Structure 1
């Protein structure tokens, strides 16, 4: 209780700023990889002579299967064995997977390495939000998470431009796209070794001395900078240990799973439908390959803009309301793309869709992680976000079917509505903005 009370009285990020950049590099790869496969697949289809079903399986389904497995398995291990060890493991897997993607010689090897990449990416998204939330002060937890996310989301913004330069113009351009991702992941691995373990996890597992060392270091930084710290205010904190999953089937956590799983499921239906299918569907609706990528490339400027907007809002406005606002913007963007009235309208729609993604994701990641207790925080996130990714597989597979059966507009309007429903579900979640983790997660 004393160590956590001292940690919670620290009002700023009191560890080296480069730690946030280090986490950001891993995030950059994550969003780069989520985006690059959709742009690489047209060239891979042609060179490997894949059918439509094989293409969808490689581009989306196998990666999402890996994502779910990684989040569930490694997320649970992080509650048992620590955040730091699993952060090293996840970035290692993503580097191996990305270089393997680049070297793939056929469908089988590509499937294997897309699965490995998905395992690393899925677990890393889980752990980054968990780790940052446990180190950041309550009043700035959202802002610090979004700062790091802003570094990462730039990966999603620049990937279309890199793909536009490589994929249509160079025979091995799609391989080069994956090599770039592997290099970024390798850089992230090289610098992650300096990160400390989460003091909250250490206290939970009886490593009070190690937690004391990190907290004392943070307090010393505040004193050196002349930053005032209030007196510690210890409160009852559970240090019960056990199998993390069993805690999630008791209240209030079972109820929170009932909120966050459908929230993420509904959101990912549109998220992955848009990221995985939009370039192909826009091309089939009349744009050239380069033109369809260009629409999304210009629109992707909205990713960092959305994240930047959240920096000023995330610790002032309740998370639930910000999530709802982002989903309303998402719906407008999907309706404009579906309208397909002109190039300008598509650009605006793609920009608003990207803006909504940049606004929604880290706020929702932070909200999910902080709603579960330290003893099962990573596991709670894993089940919410991991199982929710089944919605991504559904959306990516169904969107082309809906477009073919009804119309281009109906398809994009449908994934706009599922996004809005995610925002409405979020309203049922707990109050979290500005509250100590132990108070949010009870």
Structure 2
């Protein structure tokens, strides 16, 4: 027997952007800031601890690779927890988790304990990311959520240069000052100060049969929005829907869940290998090809200026055009720019093409964060998003090995052929098989103006 579907999505979709939404943007941007800050702390401190503990490069490689395994496990576990415990509670738990283990890393005594703590931290970072993506998707109106997802990332990504700047000051101060970088990463725990202003996702509450709680949340959001903006437009009526399988791994048996999960896994694998392959290897490969270490680091630093601008660009196009085709175009531009980067050693062109890669890659990520949850219903949204994102991160446990083998066996340019090809495969998969979501967003936008 069909049953009346919940109406939370329709009621949220016709809300104007209010104080609640702005507070949520600040809260999630804060969490992302320390996610971007913490994800690079090991790379920054590794040269210091390697010498201090007498470790070799292979130990650094193992810790780095295992961190991506941790990201996979963390995202998948968090996806299941968010479907069972709720989005807000899981967001809280995952932020506490990565902050706690980042703090523990500050007290690591050898490479083994460092590796364990970094794997556990990475699990929390990835877990927090996927839950935050789903949470924003469910509490922002459909017609504008892509733009605000991009703005949140644009602010959050500033955590990377901020951490680099702080580390460049702290690490040279003494033998043990590298530990302070991990204390900085642990400040993500201050996200808990925002909790009182956040609400549980009403879509999740209704999907779990907790209609009274969902109603209370919706009335609060509607009351605040009406107080700011006046009378609200009527929500679209509920629709009839067939009962769905409850949250959990049983969803893997459903074609409507399995197909987007496979497609999004291809998207995130190409993004992860393509992005980390470029950002992690570009300075090393330039130096290996005869460019001085100082110049290679300076060139790469200049190219990263494009990162926040890319998120801003994504914010301008994500809700205006079909998200699928924006991803395809961005992916192809990254492929072309990355390939041209590898074919030139002219300093100006190295910076220009590297800037283009960073610009469009961060835009691509913002678009993908908005697109991924849209391919699922409420029951499967968290688990599906987390599995596909986790598989992408897991792929980078082998990505560096592939790139190292290509460079050793076939040379510098082959690496960039591989990276460009990876991006092109992701773009082609989306072009051929990616569902379009703009029509649904336009319908939601039309409902707002009724």
Q: Above 0.5 in TM-score?
A: yes
CA distance 1:188–1:282, shift in 2 (3 Å): farther
CA distance in 2, matches of 1:213, 1:175: 45
* Alignment partners' CA distance in 2, 1:160 and 1:282: 20
- After superposition, the Cα gap between the structure-2 partners of 1:179 and 1:304, relative to the gap in structure 1 and judged at 3 Å, is same
| Pairwise CA RMSD | 2.4
Is the 2:406–2:415 Cα contact (8 Å) retained in structure 1? yes
Q: Is the contact between residue 25 and residue 152 of structure 2 (CA under 8 Å) also seen in structure 1?
A: yes
Q: Please, what TM-score do these two structures have when normalized by structure 1?
A: 0.91
Deviation of residue 68 (structure 1)?
0.5
Choose from 48, 51, 57 the match for 1:46.
51
Q: Does 1:112 align with 2:116?
A: yes
Instruction: Report how far residue 101 of structure 1 moved.
Output: 2.4
Report the equivalent of 2:3. Answer: none
CA 36–323 in structure 1, closer or farther in 2 if over 3 Å, else same: farther
* Structure 2 residues without counterparts, runs of 5 or longer: 1-5, 445-450
Structure 1 runs not aligned, ≥5 long: none
Query: Which residue of structure 2 aligns with residue 407 of structure 1?
Result: 411
CA contact (8 A) 1:132 1:145 kept: yes
- Following superposition of structure 1 onto structure 2, how do residues 230-249 of structure 1 map, counting pairs within 5 Å? 230-233=233-236, 234-237=238-241, 240=244, 242-249=246-253
CA 111–325 in structure 1, closer or farther in 2 if over 3 Å, else same: same
Secondary structure of 1:197 counterpart: coil
CA–CA distance in structure 2, aligned partners of residues 239 and 182 of structure 1: 42
* Cα displacement (A) at 1:388: 1.9
1:215-294 to structure 2, matched below 5 A, reads 215-227=218-230, 229-233=232-236, 234-237=238-241, 240=244, 242-294=246-298
Alignment of structure 1 residues 295-334 onto 2, 5 Å: 295-334=299-338
1-structure distance, mates of 2:336, 2:115: 35
**Equivalent of 1:425 in 426, 429, 439:** 429
Deviation of the 1:90 alpha carbon? 0.8
Q: Within 2, Cα distance between the matches of 1:281 and 1:292?
A: 9
- What does 1:112-131 correspond to in 2, within 5 Å? 112-131=116-135
- CA distance in 1 between partners of 2:48 and 2:348 (Å): 27
Q: Which moved more, 1:380-389 or 1:172-181?
A: 172-181
CA shift in 2, pair 1:189/1:57, >3 Å: farther
CA distance in 2 between partners of 1:290 and 1:182 (Å) = 30
Contact 2:20 2:198 in 1 (8 A): no
1:63-142 map, 5 Å: 63-142=67-146
Q: Does 1:367 find its partner at 2:363?
A: no
> Per-residue displacement from partner, 1:265-290 (whole Å, max 9, x unpaired)?
12211222223333333333334544
Which of residues 190, 195, 212 in structure 2 aligns to 1:187? 190
CA distance in 2: counterparts of 1:223 and 1:385, whole angstroms = 37
1:340 offset after TM fit, Å? 4.5
Deviation at 1:182, TM superposition (A): 1.6
Q: Is the 8 Å Cα contact of residues 68 and 389 (structure 1) preserved in structure 2?
A: yes
C-alpha contact 1:130 1:370 (8 A) present in aligned 2? no
Distance 2:247 2:309 in 1: 40
Q: Which residue of structure 2 lines up, in the alignment, with residue 212 of structure 1?
A: 215
TM-score of the two chains, using structure 2 as the length reference: 0.90
Kept in 2: contact 1:336–1:348 (CA 8 A): no
2:447 aligns with: none
Between the aligned partners of 2:44 and 2:58, the Cα distance in structure 1 is 17
Contact 1:70 1:120 in 2 (8 A): yes
Per the alignment, do residues 38 and 413 of structure 1 end up closer, same or farther by CA in structure 2, a change over 3 Å counting?
farther
